[in-house]
Amino acid sequence: MAAITLESVGKTYAGGVTAVHAIDLAIEDGEFLVLVGPSGCGKSTLLRMIAGLETISSGAVKIGNRVVNQVEPAERDIAMVFQNYALYPHMSVRENLAYGLKNRGVPKDEIARRVAEAAKILEIGGFLDRKPRALSGGQRQRVAMGRAIVREPAAFLFDEPLSNLDAKLRVQMRGEIKQLQARLGTTSIYVTHDQLEAMTLAHRLVVLNGGRIEQVGTPLEVYRKPASTFVAAFIGSPAMNLLQAEVSGGRVRLGGASLPAPGAAEGKVTLGLRPEDLQRTRPGAEGALLMNVAYVEELGAQRLVHGTVGGQSLVCAQPVESDLGDTLTLTADPAAVHLFDAASGKRLG
Amino acid sequence: MVENRRFLNILAHLVLILGVAFVAFPVYIALIASTHGQNDFLSGVIPLLPGHDTIRNYSAMMTQGLASSGAPPLWLMLGNSLIMALSISIGKIAISIISAFAIVYFRFPGRMIAFWLIFVTLMLPVEVRILPTYKVVAELGMLNTYAGLTVPLIASATATFLFRQVFLTIPEELMEAARIDGAGPMKFFWDILLPLSRTNIAALFVILFIYGWNQYLWPLLVTTGTDHYTIVLGIKRMADIADQQPEWNFIMSTVVLAMVPPVLVVIFMQRLFVKGLIETEK
Ligand SMILES: Nc1ncnc2c1ncn2[C@@H]1O[C@H](COP(=O)(O)OP(=O)(O)O)[C@@H](O)[C@H]1O
Ligand SMILES: [Mg+2]
C-alpha cells in the first residue's frame, strides 16, 4: 500500500492533443479517489499514465516515494481493472488470476493460496475452472477484480469498470467494490463518467474538465459547495438549476423575484439552485420565485416539475402528494443559494 | 404454400445430390481403377466394379514404383511431398505470424515500408517471378535439395495480412493487461497471441498444406533427379509416357494414395477449426 503523488503531470499526444494539463494531486495511502468528468476530459489518460500504459509528457508520478515515470507497468506495483475486463479468453478463471503471479515467479503454493483467498472474497470459487466466455457480465467483473486482488498491489486502478453492466448489477457491484476497498484498505483510483458512482464510492472525488482539475473534495463538499458552474451542473441529479441573475442590495434578483444573498458583491451573477432545495411557500410571499409549470416527471419517490421562471428554465423537486397548479411559488434557504461569477463560472463566496 | 416448399426442398436436394455425384464420381473411378489388373483397361471400357488386384497394385507402387516411366517408389515421393507441404505451411505460418506481430504491436522506423513490401509479395506468386527465382536458386546451388523446393515458396508473407487482421480484432486492453501482469512482448506472443490465433493457424495450415502438396510447376523446375520427386510430379510422369499404354491401375493407386494426406489434414484440422469457430471470443 502506498500514497500516490502527481506533480504537474501532463500529457500531449503525438497528434498534438493535450489531454491532460499539469495536474497536481496527492492521493493518500488507503484512500479511495474517484476521477470523474464527462467523456473525453482526460480521465483515462491520467489513469493510464499512473499505470504506465501511457508515457508521461511532463511532470512526475510517484508511487510511494519512488518516481515511476520510467518504470514498466509490471514493476509499478499496481493492478488495473479495465472496462471490458480484458480477461484472457483462452485461460480458465484460475489461470487468469494466476498469470501475473506466475510471471513474477511467485511459488506455486503461494499462488494457490492467493487465488483461493481471492476466490473466497469475491465468491468466484464455483467457476474457477471455467473460461471467461462461460461467465455472466457480473461474474467476469468479479474475476477482473480477482485478478487485481491476487497481486496484492500498492494500488488498484479502475477504468470505468462497471460501464458494461446493466443498471441493477452496476448498483450491486458498486456496493461490493466499496466494501472490498474498505476491507482491503488498498489505495484506489477509480475513473468514471457517472457522477452517482463517483458520489457513492469516493472518499474524495476529483472533477476533471478538459484535462484540468475543476474541484477536489469529499462528495459532500463538492455537492454542497461546487467550485464552478461546471461542477454544479455535473454533480448531483437532477442537475442544479443555473440562472442568469443580478445582485443588488444584498439580494440576488431574478425578474421580479429575489433571494437573500448576504455579503455578495453587486453585479451580474449565475445563480445556482438545486431542484431539491426549492420549497413552496404561500402565494404572494415577498421575493418568491413564480414558476410556470410546463410538465411533470413522476419518479415515484418524488416528482420533478419542469417549468420557467422569468423566461429561464427551472426544475424543482416536489413531494408526490403535492397538488400542483399552473404556477408554483418557490423560495430557497439562504444556505442553498449558490452564486457563480457570470463570466468565469467560478464560485463566489 | 407447404407443397410448394416441399417441392423446393426436393429440388434443392436433387441439385445437391447431382453436384456431389458429379464431384465424387471421378474419385470413385480412380478408386475402382486402382483395384484392377492392367489388362482390364485394354478393352477401352472403364470398369465400374472393384477388381481383384488391389493389394498387388498398391504394394508394387509403394515398394518399387514405376521404373518404366522413371517414377521412384511411392513412399519416397509421398515423403518428399509431405516434407514440402509441411515446410511450406509451417514456414509460411511462422514467418507471417511473426511479421504480423511486428507490424501490429511495435512502432519502429520503416514500419509502413515493411508493411507495403509484404503487401507487394501478395502480387508476386512464384509463377510470376519464376525465372529470377529459378536463377537465384540455381546459383545458390539449391537445385535438387529440399531447401530449393520449399524456401522460394515460403518466402512470401502472404498470410501476414490474415494474422494482421486477427491481431487487430484482439482488444488492446488484453495487451495492456498482460503488460501489467508482467508479460514482455515475447511472452505476450506465446501465452496470448498464439493461443488466440490457433483456429486461424489451423485454417491457414489446411490451405497451405494443400497448396504445398499440389505444387507442380516449381518442383518440376528445381528437381532433376528422382530423389526429390514429389507425388504430383510422379503422377504426371506416369501418365505422360509417350510410346505405350499408361498403366492406369498403377497411376490410379498413386492418385488415391496422393489424396490421403490432404484429406487427413482436412479431416483432422476441421475438428479444431469448427471447435474454434464455436468458441472463439476475443
Ligand atoms: N492515443 C491517443 N492519441 C491521441 N489522442 C488521444 C488518444 N487517446 C485519447 N486521446 C484524446 O485525449 C482526450 C482524453 O481522452 P481520454 O483520457 O480517453 O478521456 P476520458 O477517459 O475522460 O473519456 C480526448 O480528447 C481523446 O480524443
Ligand atoms: Mg475513458
pLDDT-wise least confident of A40-49, A208-217, B10-19, B222-231: B222-231
Report the mean per-residue pLDDT for chain A: 93
Q: How far is the CA of A77 from the centre of ligand 2 (A)?
A: 22
Q: CA separation (Å) from B4 to B7, B8, B17, B204?
A: 5, 6, 20, 42
Please report residues of A whose CB lies closer than 8 A to that of B176. Answer: 51, 53, 73, 80, 82, 86
Q: CA separation (Å) from A183 to A75, A113, A121, A195?
A: 25, 19, 10, 24
**Does the pLDDT of residue A79 top 80, yes or no?**
yes
Ligand 1: residue whose CA is nearest its atom 8: A45
pLDDT (tens digit per residue) in A89-123: 999 999 999 999 999 999 999 999 999 999 999 99
User: What's the grid cell of residue A224?
Assistant: 454542497
Q: How far is the CA of A133 from the centre of ligand 2 (A)?
A: 24
pLDDT band with cut points at 50, 70 and 90 for residue B47: confident
User: Coil, helix or strand for A158?
Assistant: strand
**B180, A84: Cβ pair inside 8 Å?**
no
Residue B120, domain extent? 75-280
Other beta carbons less than 10 A from residue A94's beta carbon: 20
Q: Is B36 domain-assigned?
A: no
Angle separating helix axes A167-184 and A108-122, nearest 10 degrees = 130
Mutate to test the pocket of ligand 1, among A9, A21, A39, A45 (most ligand atoms within 8 A of CB): A45
Q: Is B224 domain-assigned?
A: yes
Are the C-beta atoms of residues A313 and A243 closer than 8 Å to each other? no
User: What's the grid cell of residue B156?
Assistant: 512470401
User: What's the grid cell of residue B227?
Assistant: 530423389
Q: Is B114 domain-assigned?
A: yes
Choice between B249 and A129, residue whose per-residue pLDDT is larger: A129
Residue tagged 485454417 (cell numbers): B203
Of A74, A83, A132, the CB nearest to B180: A74
Beta bridge partners of A314: A307
The one-letter amino acid at A231 = V
Of B171, B181, B196, the CB nearest to A90: B196
Tell me which chain B residue has its CA closest to the CA of residue A147: B181
Q: How far is the CA of A183 from the centre of ligand 2 (A)?
A: 27
Q: What is the maximum alpha-carbon separation in chain B? A: 76
Ligand 1: residue whose CA is nearest its atom 14: A42
User: Coil, helix or strand for A319?
Assistant: strand
Q: How far is the CA of A148 from the centre of ligand 2 (A)?
A: 19
Residue whose C-alpha is closest to residue A155's, from A61, A18, A264: A61
Q: Is B84 domain-assigned?
A: yes
Beta bridge partners of A189: A33, A157
pLDDT (tens digit per residue) in B65-79: 777 777 788 888 899
**Does the pLDDT of residue B46 top 90, yes or no?**
no
Note the ipTM here. Answer: 0.88
Q: Is B70 domain-assigned?
A: no
Among positive and negative, which fits the CA dihedral A197, A201, A207, A211?
Answer: negative
User: Going by C-beta distance under 8 Å and a sequence separation of 6 or more, which residues neighbour residue B276?
Assistant: B198, B199, B202
Q: Is the peptide bond before A238 cis (omega within 30 degrees of 0)?
A: yes
Residue whose C-alpha is closest to residue A259's, from A44, A250, B20, A268: A250
Residue tagged 471447435 (cell numbers): B275
B86 sits in which H/E element: helix B74-105
Q: For an interface test with B, which of A44, A91, A103 has the most B Cβ atoms less than 10 Å from its Cβ?
A: A103
User: Going by C-beta distance under 8 Å and a sequence separation of 6 or more, which residues neighbour residue B191?
Assistant: A88, A99, B178, B183
**For residues A4-31, b (16+ Cβ closer than 10 Å) or e, as one string?**
bbbeebbbeeeeeebbbbbbebebeebb
**A88, B177: Cβ pair inside 8 Å?**
yes
User: What's the grid cell of residue B260?
Assistant: 490421403
pLDDT-wise least confident of A162-171, B133-142, B161-170, B238-247: B238-247
State the virtual CA torsion across A256, A260, A261, A263 in degrees, nearest 10.
Answer: 120
Can you give the pLDDT at residue A321?
80
Q: Is B47 domain-assigned?
A: no
Residue whose C-alpha is closest to residue A119's, from A138, A141, A94: A94
The rounded distance, in Å, linking the Cα atoms of B281 and B91 is 27
Which ligand is nearest to the Cα of residue A36, counting in written order?
A: 1
**Does the pLDDT of residue A334 top 80, yes or no?**
yes
pLDDT (tens digit per residue) in B119-154: 887 777 777 888 988 999 999 998 899 999 899 888
pLDDT band with cut points at 50, 70 and 90 for residue B155: confident
Can you give the pLDDT at residue B282?
44
Choice between B193 and B55, residue whose per-residue pLDDT is larger: B193
Can you give the pLDDT at residue A222?
96
Over its C-alpha atoms, chain B yields an Rg (Å, rounded) of 24
Tell me which chain A residue has its CA closest to the CA of residue B187: A103
Beta carbon of A231 within 6 Å of any ligand 1 atom: no
**Does the pLDDT of residue A322 top 80, yes or no?**
no
Can you give the pLDDT at residue B279?
54
- For residue A307, the Cα-to-chain-centroid distance in whole angstroms is 29
Q: Is B118 domain-assigned?
A: yes
Beta carbon of A192 within 6 Å of any ligand 1 atom: no
Choice between A13 and B47, residue whose per-residue pLDDT is larger: A13
- For residue A118, the Cα-to-chain-centroid distance in whole angstroms is 26
User: Coil, helix or strand for A35?
Assistant: strand
Are the C-beta atoms of residues A261 and A252 closer than 8 Å to each other? yes
Rounded average pLDDT over B195-212: 89
Please report residues of A whose CB lies closer than 8 A to that of B181. Answer: 74, 99-100, 103, 147
Q: How far is the CA of A3 from the centre of ligand 2 (A)?
A: 23
Domain count, chain B: 1
pLDDT-wise least confident of A72-76, A131-135, A314-318, B278-282: B278-282
pTM over 0.90: no
Asked if A148 reaches chain B (Cβ–Cβ under 8 Å), the answer is no
What is B10-75 written as a DSSP string?
A: HHHHHHHHHHHHHHHHHHHHHHHHTTS-GGGGTTSPPP-S--S-HHHHHHHHHHT-BGGGTBPPHH
Please report residues of B whose CB lies closer than 8 A to that of A130. Answer: none
Choice between B101 and B124, residue whose per-residue pLDDT is larger: B101
**A90, B174: Cβ pair inside 8 Å?**
no
- For residue A92, the Cα-to-chain-centroid distance in whole angstroms is 33
User: What's the grid cell of residue B143?
Assistant: 537445385
Q: What is the CATH number of the domain that holds B192?
A: 1.10.3720.10
**A84, B195: Cβ pair inside 8 Å?**
no
pLDDT band with cut points at 50, 70 and 90 for residue B242: low
Compute the half-sphere exposure of residue A280: CA atoms within 13 Å on the CB side of its CA.
12
Choice between A333 and A23, residue whose per-residue pLDDT is larger: A23
Q: Is B28 domain-assigned?
A: no
The rounded distance, in Å, linking the Cα atoms of B79 and B86 is 10
User: What's the grid cell of residue A45?
Assistant: 489518460
Can you give the pLDDT at residue A176?
93
Please report residues of B whose CB lies closer than 8 A to that of A103. Answer: 181-183, 187
Can you give the pLDDT at residue A256?
81
Tally helices (H) and strands (E) across chain A.
8, 20
Ligand 1: residue whose CA is nearest its atom 4: A13
Asked if B191 reaches chain A (Cβ–Cβ under 8 Å), the answer is yes
Residue A338, phi then psi, degrees to nearest 5: -105, 130
What is A256-314 written as a DSSP string?
A: TEEEE-TTPPSEEEEEEE-GGGEEE--TT-TT-EEEEEEEEEE-SSEEEEEEEETTEEE
Are the C-beta atoms of residues A227 and A58 closer than 8 Å to each other? no
Can you give the pLDDT at residue B280?
52
